[in-house]
Amino acid sequence: MAGIVGYGVYVPKYRIKAEEYIKAWGNFAADGVKEKSVVGCDEDVVTMAIEASNNAIKSAGIDPKNINTVYLATTSAPYAEKPSSVTVAAAIGAEGDVRTADFTTSTKAGTAALLACLERVKSDDSGRCGLIVASDAPAAAPDSSLEHALGGAAAAFIIGKKNIIATIDKSYSLSMETLGERFRKRDEPYIRDLELRVQHLQNAITATIKNLQKSLNLEPKDFAYVVVQQPDGRAAARIAGKLGFSKKQLSTGNLAEYTGDVGAASTLLSLAAVLESAKHGEKILLASYGSGSDAICITVGAPLAAPKIEIKEYLQNKEYIDYVKYLKLKKVLSTFRT
Amino acid sequence: MTSYISLPSYLNTIDQRYRLIGKKCKSCGTVNFPPRVMCIECGGRDFEDIKLSGRGKIHAFTIISRGSAPSEFDDQQNMTGEFGVAVIELEEGPRIIGQLTDCDPNPEKIRIGTEVRATVRKLYEQEGVIRYGYKFTPV
């Protein structure tokens, strides 16, 4: 038996409000997003992952030497070749006989890495733990409407066999070929989307959630919380509503309203928020998306003993910036190249 | 091909730059950071590793204005304006220099005695290599 033994998040301090986009462009294309988190000039996916991972290690109360797996999920790693998971492992003190891997090229990478980490810990008899961290800050061209929703954040989970606070009961995965939807070719800095008005997101999540519910013989009312991939502030509510979930079940884990689209970190950041409020015995249904979907059923066990930095703190500790500062922090106005 | 700043020496200091690993003198107990060959206090040569908490207070600080930063920080300064550099007195004792981040280096906000914590950030990028290391941010 393996499960979640600790978790931690990181949300950068800077925020930009929808109004700033309206001032700059005349519109704001991210449905339901009031403000979004902005990665600082000296931050990236790696530095956010380190912060979230250290918070998770503290909450689990483990020695980082007791970690033998470090999986990083992201669509926007600083290097196309050279694993960022290794930098994270070195920074948390888990270097040496550690299995590392980067899970990437899809916003579904977070759940893919979580499931891989669970399977790794389950099949490992060393008694050591796994760390899975989803950290993302997707970028699109500043003159594309796709760019408006994109934020940044990280969420980390320690997977182990002792002192489990939540079990990962079952999952259902779907692979779905998509064309022209959220892609970035090698050597391109920005994601693109041809906005073909397809229903892939809704169809994939509906399929995985329905199949998982069927296999567990559960209905929407059996879950205290539902978490759905959040490309904006409204999509998750629309899909969850059609599947028979209430606003109450969704609202705790619907964070894009305040963070924007955090890509591969979306569902796991929301899972961390839900775990902070969930009580013993409650069930969480989570479904990611990105050319397919992973739906996961999680049951909450004992509460965390060790102190942790709550996501609320990160969401409250913020500094608003204007659009020009935003462009500077994103280095859109920088011509510096190394 | 050679690099502008020694990458091997940077690599040797990864534990201190990423994790604040210092050396505690076995004869007098003084925490040395960055690690030294001889203890700064007693000259001892026997040490054990100690992971510093990263928590401390601003002992002294200065503001680096536009144009006065080393060239590797040019881009950062162009994008963010002036930034603070401080001597931090860590709670374990050592005083170390680091950049202040996520804070306006306004003397109204940053003062001697302000509590800070360490955070790993991108320091600069050179020849395509990103150098990560600690900075400090007000608690």
Instruction: Give B80-97 pLDDT, tens digit per residue.
Output: 888 999 999 999 999 999
What is the least distance, in Å, from the CA of B137 to any CA of chain A? Answer: 11
B4 in A contact zone (CB under 8 Å): no
A51, A87, A336 member nearest B75 (Cβ): A336
CA closest to B104 among chain A residues: A319
What is the least distance, in Å, from the CA of B54 to any CA of chain A? Answer: 12
Q: What are phi and psi of B104, to 5 degrees?
A: -70, 120
- Residues in A closer than 8 angstroms to B122, CB to CB, are 42-44, 47
Q: Which amino acid is at A172?
A: Y
The tokens for B105 are 């280096």
ipTM: 0.95
What is the least distance, in Å, from the CA of B30 to any CA of chain A? Answer: 23
Whether residue B35 is preceded by a cis peptide bond, meaning omega within 30 degrees of 0, is: no
> What confidence category does residue A13 fall into, taking pLDDT thresholds of 50, 70 and 90?
very high
The mean per-residue pLDDT over the stretch B52-71 comes to 91
pLDDT tens digits, residue range B18-38? 999 999 999 999 999 999 999
> What confidence category does residue B52 fall into, taking pLDDT thresholds of 50, 70 and 90?
very high
DSSP assignment of A108-153? THHHHHHHHHHHHHHT--S--EEEEEEEE---B-TTSGGGGGB--E
Yes or no: say if A1 and A124 are a contact pair by the CB < 8 Å rule. no
The lowest-confidence range among A8-22, A79-93, A261-275, A296-310 is A296-310
pLDDT tens digits, residue range A211-265? 999 999 999 999 999 999 999 999 999 999 999 999 999 999 999 999 999 999 9
Mutation choice for B interface testing from A41, A86, A325 by most B CBs within 10 A: A41
Q: Which residues pair with residue A293 across a beta bridge? A: A174
CA distance A120 to A175: 21
Residues 6 or more apart whose Cβ sits within 8 Å of residue A125: none
Say how far residue A55 (Cα) sits from the centre of its chain: 15
CA distance A8 to B131: 25
Q: What are phi and psi of A72, to 5 degrees?
A: -115, 130
The tokens for B116 are 């800070």
Tell whether the model's pLDDT for residue B2 goes beyond 60.
Answer: no
CA distance A59 to A304: 7
Helix (H) and strand (E) counts in chain B:
3, 8
A79, A319, A328 member nearest B80 (Cβ): A328
Tell whether the model's pLDDT for residue B116 goes beyond 50.
Answer: yes
Provide the pLDDT for residue B3.
Answer: 59
Mutation choice for A interface testing from B130, B136, B137, B139 by most A CBs within 10 A: B130
A42, A336, A338 member nearest B101 (Cβ): A42
Q: Kind and range of the H or E element at A210?
A: helix A200-216
CA distance A174 to A145: 28
- Residues in A closer than 8 angstroms to B102, CB to CB, are 13, 40, 319
B19, B76, B132 member nearest A41 (Cβ): B76
Yes or no: say if A101 and A283 are a contact pair by the CB < 8 Å rule. no
CA atoms within 13 A on the CB side of A3: 18
In A, what residues contact B, Cβ < 8 A?
Answer: 13, 40-44, 46-47, 50-51, 78-79, 87, 90-93, 319, 328-329, 331, 333-334, 336, 338
- Indicate the angle between helix axes A266-277 and A109-122, nearest 10 degrees: 60
What is the least distance, in Å, from the CA of A50 to any CA of chain B? Answer: 7
Contact A93 B51 (CB under 8 A): yes
What percent of chain B has pLDDT above 70?
Answer: 96
- Residues in B closer than 8 angstroms to A44, CB to CB, are 122, 130
CB count within 10 Å of CB A314 equals: 21
What is the least distance, in Å, from the CA of B13 to any CA of chain A? Answer: 12
In 3D space, the residue among A97, A104, A23, A11 whose CA is nearest the CA of residue A49 turns out to be A11
Distance (Å) of CA A185 to CA A102, A137, A180, A216: 18, 17, 11, 39
3-class secondary structure, A279: coil
CA closest to B75 among chain A residues: A336
